[in-house]
Structure 1
Amino acid sequence: MENFILYEEIGRGSRSVVYKGRRKGSIYFVAIICSDKSKRPELTNHVRLAHDIKHDNVVSFHEWYETSNHLWLVVEMCTGGSLAALIAQDECLSEEVVQEFSIDLIKGLKYIHDSGIVVSDITPAKILLDGPGTVKYSNFCLAKAQGESLEEFFSLVMTEETGSGDVKENIISPQNIKNRIKGSPVYCAPEVLRGADTSVCSDLWALGCILYEMFTGKPPFVSENMTGLVDLILNEDPPPLRQKEPAFSQPSPEFESLVMGLLQKDPVKRLSWDTLLSHPFWREAFSETCITMRKEQDDVSLMSSLHLAPAEEAQTAPVDPASPNLSKSFTLDNVIEFRPKSALDIDAREAIFLLSSRPTPRTSNTARETEDKGSEIQESSVMVEEECDINACIKSLLYTDSDLTVTPIMDNPKILKTSPVRFDPKTLCVPAHTAERLLCLSSEDWSQFLQQVCAVLESVDRAGSANATVARTKLNLLCYLCTVCNHRETATRLIHSQLFPVLVQQMRHAPNWDIRSKVMRVIGLMASHSTELRDDVPVTEAVAMFTELIRENFRSSKLKQCLIPPLGEVLYLIATQEEKKERPGGLWVVPAAAYTVLMRCLREGEELVVNHMAAKTIENVCSRESQYAQGFITAEVGPALWYLFTHSTVDALRVSAISALCKITRQSAGAFQSVIDKVGLPSILSCLVSGISRVQQHILTMFAAMLASGAHSHRLVQDRDFVMKIIRSLESPSSVIRAKAFLVLLQVLMNNREMLLLCCNSRMVMYIERDVRKATPGKEQQSGNEYLSKCLTLFIRHTVHELPAILDDILSVLGSIVGRKHPSPTQSRQLKQSLPMMAVVLHLLTSQIFRPQVVTEAFLIKFGKLLNHITSIDTNETSLGSAIGQAASEELIRNTLSAVEAISQHPALLSLYHCTVVDLIVPPLAALAFSKNVEWRIVSLRVLSEITLLLLSQDEVEERERDGGREREGEWEGEGISSNTRLLTLISEALLPQYETLLLEPDPVPVYALKLLVSLTEHSSPISRLVRESRLLPAVFQVIEEHQNNTVGSTMQNAMALLCNLIGQKGTDLRPFYQQGVIEVVCNVFMEVSGVYLEREMHSGLKSCSSLLLCLLDIIHCLLKNLSSVVRLALQRSDSNEDTEAAEELLLINKPLTDLNNLLIQLLACNDSEVYEEASHCVSLLAQLYGGEGADRLQPEELLSLAHALQTHTEPRQQKLLLRVLKRLMSAVGSSCWGSSEGQILVHVLQKLALPTRSQSDMALESLAAEILKGIGE
């Protein structure tokens, strides 16, 4: 699993998340599905059936893994989304497009069926499209082999997992398994609903349903309940093929014949494969291809007794749709063969996929990748196309489902607590059927029931009497109707019956208000629970009657509490039905007086309950995109709702009022603007800061909607206090509130780019990075995070697109003052406006979210021009200080250099744009390295050090690859060599000639100058040669001399690293180093550094000077190797006096190194393997060259170090080296040392080594140890 890198989320299901991923070392992107382990049976089934299917119209399976909490599937990535999403977006497809998609569907399904597999659950949501638009089957979780029992397979898998605790026994029941293997009922064939198993015929039925849905926009059979759906599929014919859009023509007879042939309820009469492929609709598209394929596949036994190949083989097998492997069997003998690869032993923390170094916002739908010179820029699924209008995207995100959620007006306990309605079944004048029972009545019984109800309700009027018994009977009946109207389907059936007009009449003609209130309650409950409203229902009369009664009884608050809720429910039902039926003209007339009386109920002085009911009505009706909401849009509605919000002490009323205002703003942004005009922006912002979360969400939504409307936005986008309050909302724990805040800020920045500086200075980038991290793959998410991700992606995308414009502005204003000593007032004003925006560039470049998206080749080209301007400003060729002040000028330079330093710390970016960096970034930095300003010199040297180290090391690697025979494109190779040459030329001509002045500067400049030299010489032999041959070497030794009092400081470390690079080069002439006294310098520094190192290791384990010590050991090693080669050459040429004299002279020069022998031996006992390795080589060479001559007598401490080294390093090669060193230094060990406790420890070690053994290598050790023991008399 470590072979894949995770990027953003591209899809989500109830128990699974889909991420975009990439195989490491390739540009092959895949989809990685992270699923709960509860789906193990389904996923195991998918893997066993899909892992060998290789076809253009089937999503390829690669491999799968198991971690402690999840199962992970790696499959082919399809960037076109699902067929269901496509149908939802386009509503219906033309016959030509349906035909094109259908050919792909049939090719894929034919291949699947010929492979012996029945898909069983084919739905548009499980059919995906790749980038070019090829349709692919993606889900085989409920598929099965022909003739197989899927129930048996699921039982087998679940039983296997019970032992490991993944599945509990109580869920392995036949009923549970049957429920799990049921597919979508909408696409289920009639015979399957009757209890038959899924088959090829049932798959063809589902195919017919999908063809029908592609053309019409909806499946052939749709119902709001399962019972109705089953009845339609079993007994009713599918509706004729019709499209909503008039632009599309009627279906052709061939297409209609095809679809209806697939939707035959009798599977015997349904189209078979032969009749399907030869159907005239295809215009012979399958005439030859499929017949040939069918003959070839018929010759192969599709149900042979071979098991499926392991997933590893499937991963490596080449994809060849033209020649599929059809020899498969899907036996159930051994479920363990289909287990995923386990990653539990690798990492138990679930972080088994590598996360991209460029985190991205999470998205819920398929995301699209675009590349710009190799730099990937994520696009959210909110974007349909790359050039999508951002304003349209914003408007689609303004209102979430939670913003438009409504609660009932009737029986809402937050408005008014009411006692439950009860009836007496004994005295009820009609049968006391339950709501469910009423639905099951036959047409005759239903008509009789309604006649009885209507007769009772009208009985008082006909009798002309107010008999109390009749009134009680009527009240009891109305209470019964109240109870059954709480059932949706019953309420819908009643509102479409003759009962509704009778109830409307009773509102006026009922003998008393008790009956009237119950009548109103029944009407309100009907409206509240009805799911449909036919055109012939007289709701207009009901609204008019409610309005008239409210006007007549406006002074009675109690009666208004009875009248407003049912009126509100009726208005909401009307608005809902208009939105559903998409008839903007409206089907029912709502009198203007209805809006008037409701608006009057909002006024100050009314009882709070009445206020609440009116506000709730406005809230519900305005949640719908309906013309009926327009009646509430008046000049006073906004201030009236705001007054309720600010002056009410009831939280529920305050939330309803602000929610109603938010929904009205959706219809007209002017409503919220009128509130701002009346109460002032500060008052609203104070409510935003101190309000509860729902209030904050609604206020932010209104600000976003008003900005999106384009009206009255100028004042808002210029208000710094407004922007600061919105930024403060980013601290909210609610992801929806943070998303809304980003949406508001996005629109502010679209209208006023300068506010980006205020946002960045207010930690906005930190908030973005926090929210992106929360959306990192592998973490549990709340539902609001998807919405946050979409808003965040829009914000990031806009900010990234703004950065080039910011740089252009800066370059433009700087270019306008080039050559001018005194910029004009206009230019000064432009400079003061544009140059501070450089801080924005710095903020974005230091962010891991923005940096990879911002740094492109075009950006680096512009940045190189900016650095040239900075160089001009630094040398006073451009007069900037006189225009904006010295402090602002320095701030610009500081921000620019900090920005380039941020880029330099990320090698991937520099490597990607190697040539651009060399040509445009390095030259101005080289010039700034010699600035009169110490700060600019230091930063430039530091950045140059990072850049050159990377570029030169990259060139070295490429050179080695070329030398190793790796072929590259000639153009690329030539370009790499050219850029390397240009870099070396720049360094040698622009840097090195003046470099001596940098080395001799006061601290801390020499530290960074030396560090740059270390980077240059580490990977470049030409640079090393130039340094050795230039005047820099004396300056380096002068720096070392001046810092002798701080040997472990940074200056000394860089100086020694530089000497190590220079001396370590193969074939280096060391005479210049000897002339500068390198031996004395190395000895002095080594004595002090090794002492510090040994002391710190002994007491605290700190090794802060280990890097310096390694450099010194490397230098000593190189010096001794060079000496050894000279001595060896002189010995080989014993007749040459010149060589002998040179060797003797060199031995004399290097003899002070023997003073280090004791310290080197002590280092052999350290725990650092690198230090030991270098020290042992140095000790060995000293012993070979000088023996015991000139060395100080070894002390007991050194003998103990040798003993420890012999015991620690047990490899024969290392032990031989140490024994040879000891043998050569015998003369430097006094007899008293051997008698000490340390000496005896060494003797004991030698005696153990001298014991006889059998191996050849041990015999050499024995001989050496015995010889040493003999020499000391043991």
Structure 2
Amino acid sequence: MTCINSPAALPAVGKRSPAGAESSDWTSQCRAGRRVDTCTTAKMENFVLYEEIGKGNKSTVYKGRRKGTINFVAILCIDKSKRPEITNRVRLTHGIEHQNIVLFHEWYETSNHLWLVVELCTGGSLAMVIAQDEYLHEDVVRQFGIDLVTGLRQIHGLGIIFCDLNPAKILLDGPGTLKYSNFSLAKAEGENLDEFFSLIGAEDDVGESNNGTQRRKSKIRSRGSSTYMAPEILKGEDCSPISDLWSLGCVLYEMFTGKPPFFSESHSELVEMVLHEDPPPPEPQESTGQKPSVEFLGLIEDLLQKDPFKRLSWRGLLQHPFWGGAFAGCEKSFSEEDNSGSLSDNGIRLSVNIGELQQTGGHKNLQASNPQMDRNQQQKSYKLENPADLQPKRALDINSKESIFLLSSHPTPRTSLVVSQSSNIIQSAPPKDFPVSPQDMDSKIKGLIYTEADLTVTPIMDNPKILKPTPMKFDAKTLSVPAYSAEKLVSLKGQDWTLFIQQLCSLIDTGEKTAGPPRAKLNLMCYLCSVTSHKEVATRLIDSQLFPVLTQQLRSAPNWDIRSRMIRLIGLLACHTTQLRDDVPITEAVTVLTELTRENFRNTKLKHCLIPALGELMYLVANQEEKRPHSRDHWAIPSIAYTVLIRCIREGGDPVTNHLAAKIVENVCTTNSSPAQGFITGEMGLLLWYLFTHSTMDSLRVTTISALCRITRHSASAFQSVIDKVGLTAVLNSLVAGISRIQQYMLTMFIAMLSSGIHLQRLVQEKDFVTKVVRLLESPSTVIRGKAFLVLLEVLRNNKEMLLLCCQTR
């Protein structure tokens, strides 16, 4: 897992510490050769230091944990030459509690380094996400953009200008929420940052008498990334909220396209481009990527206005149609004076002075998430005339005789909207002595076993983790029917739609006497594949006469080129259909695909073509049956289909075939339907476990254990048969050594077994089992920690003697 919480940190995945070192403190890490000041352990002994997870030019990021808790943090070790930037970061972010801003906890100073303890963000930086994915879809850009706007609105409301907004300074937490991280170059509105850096630098370099040198150093420090700078900043003007909005536009542009709107290796060329050239129209890097919407193009154009007076104001940004009303009502707190960059009357200001910082240990409840804060509150003062005002308290380490500066040794309370809501729930809950029957307890635990994260469904067709999608291109000029767009097809009504379907059926059912029709059919299939990604189009097509014609042609098609396109079209129709009519002949299509798979079982390429379509049809039936539970003759899945798929798991011959078959089991068994029951056999659990233990690909291992987990949801005896066959020790070893998704699914299966009473007495007496589960309470994953608690709850309910072992293990 990668985390970057440092200004210049580069992603570096750190391996988990070996057994026995997981609970070691900073002293043992120092003995192991890590660059940690020896005196640090004296005052930071309340933290456990884990592996290095990021590294920059003058900084290193460690994963840490506060002792006695399962609160993981990021601990930044920074060279003291960065004192001005770090002091600036601390004075601006201490006490800010907001879901889109990385939470600052504490800071320390030793003889060689500054140490920052901040919120741990396990998702890496936004820059890393863009680099990995190359570009993000517009829906993701919108979702991320809402986080960015919400966070930046809070920052500006506090009277802070970020000044260097770029993807490297935005982090993602585990659930994928974006958070502003590095405020080193941020400043208070109306402030001269160069003067602040000079003030702090002068305090450090008391022997430096050259004021000119200090000013040059401070100017170098206060420079940000020119790639995201607004034109007025490059012209020498001061940063303002409006210049931050330019940078926001650059980040939104880069998320969609994979590259910033202006880029050059030459600084002078870059400045020329920003000042005088228009950015290229935002297009994703791949030609197959979606086209930008009119709303997104308009938003980018408004944010990247070179004239700051013409640039989008805060009110206009919040009201922009691209957000789909996500900020409805929020814009009322912003006046029209936003156009000039002034936020002095927005009412989101706080009254906090530097003196309070030392008294409260760096924590102040800012109630930052409330946009309707009292408008009579005064603006927070960030002015620092004397650097000693922000000096941490000085203490002496007895062992090393080295001065240690401690801002706060007390845990910073972590409040959020979620915590507040849960507090309200607790207050309205029944009294503590309210009796809860064992039956009620069992029911509540069973309701917590499977979460949404355990039952996620992803497509079988064109799943990049299984098989690389094949691009489908058609020639509109030689197409035998009008090349309607998906939106146009949706709008066709009555006779127009009927005529279009009749044309399609006639062309597909054409005889093959010449060389022309096969090419025409291939082109037609490619066209239909390209429009079926639209859900309404797919639903209309599968309900029409086209579907039975395609099924009939699977047998009579002259060659596998045409047949494979038809199979792909059937699979895409099933994948994107949202509602199925009762009389659609699914059974016939499943039967034909099953027979073709069985006849060509030794042909790996054909199996890769047939199995995804077969799986999508089976999942479509299972999903529709769960929504409308009653028997339908046209949807019945023949038993031979299950036999063929189980054979693909047992003797598929290649990892892709194994993966496709396991994926079908995973998706279908997510539902409570008759197709899911077809996979609940005594053999299936062992087959999936064998595939899990003998696969070297993480994606296949995750799919197989997820499929087994979903089968266990229907019948806990499936997991029981695995433990009986391979032994509990082997299963526990896989639990400990597995990646987080595997641990999540295995814990889920253990809870399901315990709650059903299977292996209950054996598991609650097994010390090795309990010990390994307790250790998972230190997992950075909230889901895994929650499931580990549920397992221990079931154990302690049935064997209270294990409580002592749990405490000793912790």
**TM-score, scaled relative to structure 2:** 0.52
Pick one of 494, 499, 518 that aligns with 1:443: 494
SS of corresponding position for 2:707: helix
- TM-superposed CA distance for 1:453, in Å, is 0.9
Deviations 1:349-390 (A, max 9, x none): 8721399999999956843679xxxxxx87999x9x984833
Pick one of 364, 367, 371 that aligns with 1:352: 364
Counting only pairs closer than 5 Å after superposition, residues 542-691 of structure 1 correspond to structure 2 as 542-581=589-628, 588-604=635-651, 606-691=653-738
Distance (whole Å) between structure 2 residues aligned to residue 723 and residue 337 of structure 1:
57
Contact residue 367 and residue 379 of structure 1 kept, 8 A: no
1:401 aligns with: 452
Counting only pairs closer than 5 Å after superposition, residues 493-532 of structure 1 correspond to structure 2 as 493-532=540-579
Counting only pairs closer than 5 Å after superposition, residues 330-345 of structure 1 correspond to structure 2 as 339-340=347-348, 342-345=350-353
Higher CA-based Rg: 1
1:612–1:522: structure 2 CA closer, same or farther, 3 Å change rule?
A: same
1:433–1:164: structure 2 CA closer, same or farther, 3 Å change rule?
A: closer
2:317 aligns with: 176
- Larger mean CA deviation between 450-459 and 404-413 belongs to 404-413
1:745–1:498: structure 2 CA closer, same or farther, 3 Å change rule?
A: same
1:483–1:166: structure 2 CA closer, same or farther, 3 Å change rule?
A: closer
Contact residue 712 and residue 719 of structure 2 kept, 8 A: yes
User: Greater relative contact order: 1 or 2 (C-alpha under 8 angstroms, separation 6 or more)?
Assistant: 2
Contact residue 595 and residue 631 of structure 1 kept, 8 A: yes
Deviations 1:364-421 (A, max 9, x none): 6843679xxxxxx87999x9x9848333332232223222222221122322234312
Identity of aligned residues (%): 53
> What is the one-letter code of the residue matched to 1:421?
M
Contact residue 161 and residue 241 of structure 2 kept, 8 A: no
1:533 pairs with 2:580 = yes
Pick one of 458, 468, 492 that aligns with 2:509: 458
- TM-superposed CA distance for 1:575, in Å, is 1.7
2:133 aligns with: none
- TM-superposed CA distance for 1:178, in Å, is 3.1
Contact residue 554 and residue 567 of structure 2 kept, 8 A: yes
Counting only pairs closer than 5 Å after superposition, residues 493-892 of structure 1 correspond to structure 2 as 493-581=540-628, 588-604=635-651, 606-763=653-810
- TM-superposed CA distance for 1:691, in Å, is 1.6
1:670–1:176: structure 2 CA closer, same or farther, 3 Å change rule?
A: same
SS of corresponding position for 1:477: helix
Distance (whole Å) between structure 1 residues aligned to residue 444 and residue 411 of structure 2:
26
- TM-superposed CA distance for 1:643, in Å, is 0.5
- TM-superposed CA distance for 1:586, in Å, is 9.5
Distance (whole Å) between structure 1 residues aligned to residue 622 and residue 651 of structure 2:
27
Contact residue 578 and residue 586 of structure 1 kept, 8 A: no
Distance (whole Å) between structure 2 residues aligned to residue 452 and residue 692 of structure 1:
52
> What is the one-letter code of the residue matched to 1:687?
S
Distance (whole Å) between structure 2 residues aligned to residue 585 and residue 723 of structure 1:
47
SS of corresponding position for 1:603: helix
Distance (whole Å) between structure 2 residues aligned to residue 335 and residue 518 of structure 1:
59
Contact residue 475 and residue 518 of structure 1 kept, 8 A: yes
Aligned pairs, number: 475
Distance (whole Å) between structure 2 residues aligned to residue 391 and residue 364 of structure 1:
26
Contact residue 546 and residue 563 of structure 1 kept, 8 A: yes
Distance (whole Å) between structure 2 residues aligned to residue 696 and residue 667 of structure 1:
20
Distance (whole Å) between structure 1 residues aligned to residue 633 and residue 154 of structure 2:
49
Contact residue 591 and residue 638 of structure 2 kept, 8 A: yes
Deviations 1:410-450 (A, max 9, x none): 12232223431222323221122232332233433322221
Distance (whole Å) between structure 2 residues aligned to residue 555 and residue 182 of structure 1:
51
Distance (whole Å) between structure 1 residues aligned to residue 151 and residue 612 of structure 2:
50
2:468 aligns with: 417
1:426 pairs with 2:438 = no
2:125 aligns with: none
Contact residue 622 and residue 671 of structure 2 kept, 8 A: yes
Distance (whole Å) between structure 2 residues aligned to residue 178 and residue 358 of structure 1:
34
> What is the one-letter code of the residue matched to 2:463?
N
Distance (whole Å) between structure 2 residues aligned to residue 335 and residue 386 of structure 1:
54
Contact residue 584 and residue 634 of structure 2 kept, 8 A: no
Contact residue 584 and residue 626 of structure 1 kept, 8 A: no
Distance (whole Å) between structure 1 residues aligned to residue 458 and residue 694 of structure 2:
23
1:682–1:432: structure 2 CA closer, same or farther, 3 Å change rule?
A: same
Distance (whole Å) between structure 2 residues aligned to residue 164 and residue 481 of structure 1:
46
- TM-superposed CA distance for 1:164, in Å, is 9.5
Distance (whole Å) between structure 1 residues aligned to residue 417 and residue 769 of structure 2:
28
In the alignment, structure 1 segments of 5+ residues that lack a partner are: 1-7, 18-34, 45-64, 71-160, 189-197, 199-307, 309-333, 371-376, 764-1274
> What is the one-letter code of the residue matched to 1:394?
I
1:818 aligns with: none
1:361–1:742: structure 2 CA closer, same or farther, 3 Å change rule?
A: farther
Distance (whole Å) between structure 2 residues aligned to residue 585 and residue 386 of structure 1:
46
1:418–1:341: structure 2 CA closer, same or farther, 3 Å change rule?
A: closer
1:1162 aligns with: none
SS of corresponding position for 1:620: helix
1:164–1:484: structure 2 CA closer, same or farther, 3 Å change rule?
A: closer
Counting only pairs closer than 5 Å after superposition, residues 246-265 of structure 1 correspond to structure 2 as none
Contact residue 67 and residue 344 of structure 1 kept, 8 A: no
> What is the one-letter code of the residue matched to 2:673?
S
- TM-superposed CA distance for 1:523, in Å, is 0.5
Counting only pairs closer than 5 Å after superposition, residues 883-1032 of structure 1 correspond to structure 2 as none
Deviations 1:1088-1141 (A, max 9, x none): xxxxxxxxxxxxxxxxxxxxxxxxxxxxxxxxxxxxxxxxxxxxxxxxxxxxxx
1:30 aligns with: none
Deviations 1:6-58 (A, max 9, x none): xx9xxx998699xxxxxxxxxxxxxxxxx9995699999xxxxxxxxxxxxxx
Contact residue 363 and residue 412 of structure 2 kept, 8 A: no
Contact residue 583 and residue 634 of structure 2 kept, 8 A: no
> What is the one-letter code of the residue matched to 1:541?
E
Contact residue 159 and residue 343 of structure 2 kept, 8 A: no
Distance (whole Å) between structure 1 residues aligned to residue 561 and residue 242 of structure 2:
65
> What is the one-letter code of the residue matched to 2:785?
R
Counting only pairs closer than 5 Å after superposition, residues 127-276 of structure 1 correspond to structure 2 as 170-172=311-313, 176-179=317-320
1:582–1:387: structure 2 CA closer, same or farther, 3 Å change rule?
A: farther
> What is the one-letter code of the residue matched to 1:674?
S
RMSD, matched Cα: 4.4
SS of corresponding position for 1:504: helix
> What is the one-letter code of the residue matched to 2:708?
L
- TM-superposed CA distance for 1:742, in Å, is 1.6
- TM-superposed CA distance for 1:744, in Å, is 1.3
In the alignment, structure 2 segments of 5+ residues that lack a partner are: 1-70, 72-96, 103-145, 163-238, 247-307, 334-341, 367-409
Contact residue 723 and residue 731 of structure 2 kept, 8 A: yes
Contact residue 492 and residue 533 of structure 1 kept, 8 A: yes
1:521–1:167: structure 2 CA closer, same or farther, 3 Å change rule?
A: closer
Deviations 1:975-1024 (A, max 9, x none): xxxxxxxxxxxxxxxxxxxxxxxxxxxxxxxxxxxxxxxxxxxxxxxxxx
1:560–1:365: structure 2 CA closer, same or farther, 3 Å change rule?
A: farther
Deviations 1:870-897 (A, max 9, x none): xxxxxxxxxxxxxxxxxxxxxxxxxxxx
Distance (whole Å) between structure 2 residues aligned to residue 721 and residue 41 of structure 1:
49
Distance (whole Å) between structure 2 residues aligned to residue 649 and residue 431 of structure 1:
48
SS of corresponding position for 2:463: coil
> What is the one-letter code of the residue matched to 1:638?
G
Counting only pairs closer than 5 Å after superposition, residues 1018-1057 of structure 1 correspond to structure 2 as none
